Amino acid sequence: MQQLLEGLRVLELSNNVAGPFTGKLLAEYGADVVKIEPLEGDSARHQGPYKDDIPNVETSLLFLHLNTNKKSITLNFESENAVDITKKFIDKTDIVIESFAPGQMENWGLSYEALAKDHEDLIMASITPFGQSGPWKDYKASEIVLQALGGPLHANGSAFREPIKSGGNIAQYHTGIATAFACIAARLRIIRGGRGDHIDQSIYEAQAGFRDRRTSFTTGTSYTGYVAKRQPPGARPASGPRMTTDGYANIFASGSRRFPAALDLIGRPDLKDHPDAKKQPHLFSQEFASELEGSWMAWLINRDKKTAIAETQEIGLLGGAIYTTKDLIEDEHYRSREVWDTIDHPVAGSAAYTGRQILLSETSRKKPLRAPLLGEHNNEIYAEIGFTKKDIDEMKKNGII
Amino acid sequence: MTTENFLPLDGYRVAEITVVWAGPHVTQLLGEWGAEVIRVEPTTTIQPYTRGAERIINTADQENTAKLGILAGGINPETTPGLDPWNRNSSFNSHARNKKSMSCDIMTPEGREAFLRLIEKVDVLVENNVPMTIERAKITYEQLKEINPKLIMLRMPAFGLSGPYKNYRAFGTHVEGMIGHHWLRGYPDGTPDETGDAFTADALAGVMGAFAVTSALVHREITGEGQQIEMPLAESFLPALGEWILDYTMNNRVADPQGNLHREHAPHSIYPTKGEDSWIAIDCTNDEEFNSLCITLNAHDLLNDERFKSLAKRKLYEQELNDALARYTQEWDNDQLFHLLQSVSVCAGSVHNEKQLLESPQLRARDFFEELEIEGVGTHTYPGIMTKWENTPNQIRSSPPKLGEHNEEIYIELLEYTEKQYTDLVNKGLVGTDYSEEVVPRTWE
């Protein structure tokens, strides 16, 4: 059965996280993605951790993860031939993903206007920290800075401490998905008779449109003038992360419809008749709150986190255990759903990767392919656009590829 | 479609039975890019955590809640419930633009009939309920494709349509626990109860769902095939943690809570600045940036400190470095320092709350925010569309729908009910524009 994006040709001129994640998504669901790397490789190849902590352009975990199912070729953009070569690729490309600083592609003669001149169906997505225009367009940014300015970072963490960022490269991953959506929507429009377009994706704007509280909070502020604040730990009695015998479980008991059932479960049915039992947790009286919290903690501390979740799910409470990566990978649920792909790599060896996000009823998944070695597909791909073996050797010798 | 400037999803019709945040975010994005989105929502029962109808509180309590900075459940304009607080909820109104509302309770025979008629007329159905709900309502993909073989149905439960946690109920914040994100984003020297709630899973699943549906539409345009897309919240998030997962499967290393630390950069943290709850993010990757930072802060003692002479040393003495830097940054206004540091090419940015975000000169210059006047709600600023297409201007086309606002249009024009059939449903209390007092007691008045 045909893959969702089969036949789509993508050129990835992008490094680090956001653009490569866009490319990874398109590749995962069937597009043919060719990644053009500078001679030293994608910057993600130079970031730790590496397999066995030994720096090697082929074993950066970030790179190995972000570039499955792609092909890699190299090209020196500062070389004279780079513009002509890129234009040759454009003849065979539906979507270009790039993440250079605003104006850089233009300086090379590779602006959207230049590339789309003879290809009105071209889609180009440009991913930058702040977008192609505006007073901050040339500002420097990184994950923590983008989360600080654009995301809900100020509301993450404890009221008594400094705010903390979300894990890893969340803002960039989110932007990668948003860009993939835009690219495929643009493709759909072409299929339906429209023209190509230049997608200007700012990571900052993706954060400002982030459904991790950001849009909801901003609308709340716009409605009331108040801003969201970090809450004190344990501010909601019998709700939120609490200790169990083997770690933490985060269960939503008070403030939910099933709160009375939760009181039965922990052996405190008497509290159901208290006038506070129907209130929102932050409006509980001190006396009710401490009575409830004591019984709740006593119940939890006698159970391991998975049992606490299983028993509370049984009565319909929302909740989840707080897993480490070890807990996650060993968990039977994810294993039974085959979420882990075992992928072999000539330098990094064999390991379990996270891959698909979706399962399709009518389309079976293709076998995932490992990330490419740097320039692994030079011969194959340059030959496809008309270079002979001799030309390719020549370009290698001259430091072009 | 021949006109040049149509939106990519113009002409597609999407139905949704979605609750809370992630599902409604998928349809928000599909609606923004042109789809006609119809919310199927009962007036005979409350859809949980969607219009805020399960916990409407009076003005004084809303005021107290807002002062504490608790906004996640949504709040009413001027902290006043009014007569129809479910049409005035900030959380609902932040995603429901460009949508229509049809009141319909799929658990009743009449509601089921209307829903099945609707399924014949849509391209896409999006739902994010616990799987047992959809099974109980007998509206699985297997059942619906009999009625509409070209249907694309996105199902996004928390954990999947199979496996031991199939019917586990979870918000984004609980899903984040179950995939390791809650642990990862904690304070390195703290405990998970200090971390607070995050709904990052809803944000990622929203865009991922929109991508998946659109990809399935591309596929359907070419092959004619419909499809069920199963996208558990948990699994849609996992690839965003890919390198941490590989660190366990390749290096056998369990990720510790990271807080504001970076594996290689130092300084890399959130530093206090002048004023209450005021902070700045600073991230230096090399000596040049660190030197510029110290010169700007007038922190010459740090420049000359042996412990901070190289990136490796700064990483080694990170705690001392961060404490020392904080003593300097706390003398500054964060926005002033942010622009000054950027002018000397140091990567930095203020920690902005919602009020500051709304004032951002960058977002204003790019016309990110939009003003909407909504009847009964007033005129307010809303976050706009997160992606710009150079040749396809786009903005919010219509206000969030009031409960059942489009009942007549949908039942009579689209589903071809007669006036009498429609009026019967209204008289039976199955179709309406209000929750009855039995469903939502007016306790806030």
State the greatest distance between any 2 C-alpha atoms of chain B, in Å, as a whole number.
86
A357, A362, A364, A365, best to mutate vs chain B, most B CBs in 10 Å: A357
Which residues are CB-contacts of B345 (< 8 A; sequence separation ≥ 6)? A140, B289, B292
Task: Find the Cα–Cα–Cα–Cα dihedral B130, B135, B139, B143, rounded to 10°.
Answer: 140
The long-range contacts involving B207-210, CB below 8 angstroms and separated by at least 24 positions, are B207/A174, B207/A177, B207/A178, B207/A181, B207/B25, B207/B29, B208/A177, B208/A357, B208/A358, B208/B236, B209/B22, B209/B23, B209/B25, B209/B26, B209/B126, B209/B154, B209/B156, B209/B236, B210/A181, B210/B26, B210/B29, B210/B30
A344-369 confidence digits (pLDDT tens): 999 999 999 998 999 999 999 999 99
Start-to-end C-alpha separation, chain A: 36
What's this model's pTM, rounded to 2 decimal places?
0.98
Q: What distance in Å separates the CA atoms of residue A81 and residue B311, rounded to the nearest whole number? A: 37
Is residue B275 helix, strand or coil? Answer: coil
The alpha-helical segments, DSSP class H, found in B18-101 are 22-32, 59-67, 90-93
Is residue A341 helix, strand or coil? Answer: strand
For the cut 90, the answer to whether the pLDDT of residue A57 exceeds it is yes
Q: Where are the domains of chain A?
A: 9-212+336-397, 239-327
Is residue A96 helix, strand or coil? Answer: strand
Test B350 with A357 for CB contact under 8 angstroms: no
Nearest Cα of chain A lies from the Cα of B94 at a distance, in angstroms, of: 5
User: CA nearest B229 in A: which residue?
Assistant: A360
Q: Which domains does chain B have, with CATH numbers?
A: 3-239+368-427 (3.40.50.10540), 268-351 (3.30.1540.10)
State the DSSP code for B234: H
Among B270, B281, B390, beta carbon nearest to A200: B390
Name the helix (H) or strand (E) containing B281: strand B279-283
Q: Is the dihedral of CA B243, A178, B406, B227 positive or negative?
A: negative
Mean of pLDDT values over A254-275: 96
Q: What distance in Å separates the CA atoms of residue B352 and residue A220, rounded to the nearest whole number? A: 15
User: CA nearest A181 in B: which residue?
Assistant: B211
CA–centroid distance for B384 within its chain? 13
Q: What is the mean pLDDT of chain A?
A: 96
List of chain A residues whose C-beta atoms are within 8 Å of the C-beta of residue B251: 49, 51-53, 61
Contact B38, B406 (CB under 8 A): yes
Q: Is the ipTM of this complex over 0.90?
A: yes
**Two structure tokens written together for A291:** 């009575």
Q: What distance in Å separates the CA atoms of residue B374 and residue A167, rounded to the nearest whole number? A: 37
User: CA nearest A166 in B: which residue?
Assistant: B185
For the cut 90, the answer to whether the pLDDT of residue A45 exceeds it is yes
Among A174, A194, A216, beta carbon nearest to B1: A194
Among A161, A177, A354, beta carbon nearest to B187: A161
Residue B3 confidence (pLDDT): 54
Q: What distance in Å separates the CA atoms of residue A23 and residue A26, rounded to the nearest whole number? A: 5
Test B243 with A62 for CB contact under 8 angstroms: yes
Among B77, B227, B243, beta carbon nearest to A363: B227
pLDDT band at A194 (very low <50, low <70, confident <90, very high): very high
List of chain B residues whose C-beta atoms are within 8 Å of the C-beta of residue A309: 168
Test A354 with B238 for CB contact under 8 angstroms: yes
* CATH of region A239-327: 3.30.1540.10
For the cut 80, the answer to whether the pLDDT of residue A320 exceeds it is yes
**Two structure tokens written together for B15:** 């139905």
Q: What distance in Å separates the CA atoms of residue B437 and residue B419, rounded to the nearest whole number? A: 26
| Nearest by Cα to A71 from A49, A89, A54, A56 | A89
User: CA nearest A232 in B: which residue?
Assistant: B194
**Phi, psi angles (nearest 5°) of residue A33:** -110, 120
Test B207 with A181 for CB contact under 8 angstroms: yes
Test A165 with B251 for CB contact under 8 angstroms: no
Contact A202, B222 (CB under 8 A): no
Q: Cα-atom radius of gyration of chain A, to the nearest Å? A: 26
Test B230 with A158 for CB contact under 8 angstroms: no
Test B95 with A49 for CB contact under 8 angstroms: no
**Phi, psi angles (nearest 5°) of residue B326:** -60, -35
Residue B353 confidence (pLDDT): 98
Strand-pairing partners, residue A73, are A36
Among B175, B207, B254, beta carbon nearest to A178: B207
Mean of pLDDT values over A263-287: 94
Residue B1 confidence (pLDDT): 45
Per-residue tens of pLDDT for chain B, all 445 residues: 445 679 999 999 999 999 999 999 999 999 999 999 999 999 999 998 999 998 899 999 999 999 999 999 999 999 999 999 999 999 999 999 999 999 999 999 999 999 999 999 999 999 999 999 999 999 999 999 999 999 999 999 999 999 999 999 999 999 999 999 999 999 999 999 999 999 999 999 999 999 999 999 999 999 999 999 999 999 999 999 999 999 999 999 999 999 999 999 999 999 999 999 999 999 999 999 999 999 999 999 999 999 999 999 999 999 999 999 999 999 999 999 999 999 999 999 999 999 999 999 999 999 999 999 999 999 999 999 999 999 999 999 999 999 999 999 999 999 999 999 999 999 999 999 999 999 999 988 7
Query: Which CATH superfamily groups domain A9-212+336-397?
Result: Crotonobetainyl-coa:carnitine coa-transferase; domain 1 (3.40.50.10540)
Q: What distance in Å separates the CA atoms of residue B158 and residue B232, rounded to the nearest whole number? A: 5
Whether residue A49 has a cis bond before it, omega within 30° of 0: yes
A226-263 confidence digits (pLDDT tens): 999 999 999 899 999 999 999 999 999 998 989 999 99
**Phi, psi angles (nearest 5°) of residue A244:** -125, -175
Nearest Cα of chain A lies from the Cα of B424 at a distance, in angstroms, of: 32
One DSSP character per residue, B91-135 reads HHHTT-TTEEEEE--TTSHHHHHHHHHHHHT-SEEEE-S-HHHHH
Which residues are CB-contacts of B444 (< 8 A; sequence separation ≥ 6)? B56, B57, B58, B81, B85
Say how many CB pairs under 8 Å bridge A and B.
552
Q: What distance in Å separates the CA atoms of residue A74 and residue A381, rounded to the nearest whole number? A: 10
Q: What distance in Å separates the CA atoms of residue A180 and residue A201, rounded to the nearest whole number? A: 10
B270, B315, B367, best to mutate vs chain A, most A CBs in 10 Å: B270
Q: Is the dihedral of CA A201, A207, A212, A216 positive or negative?
A: negative
Q: What distance in Å separates the CA atoms of residue A209 and residue A206, rounded to the nearest whole number? A: 5
Q: Which residue has the higher pLDDT, A278 or B332?
A: B332
**Two structure tokens written together for B126:** 């999006």
Test A283 with B64 for CB contact under 8 angstroms: yes
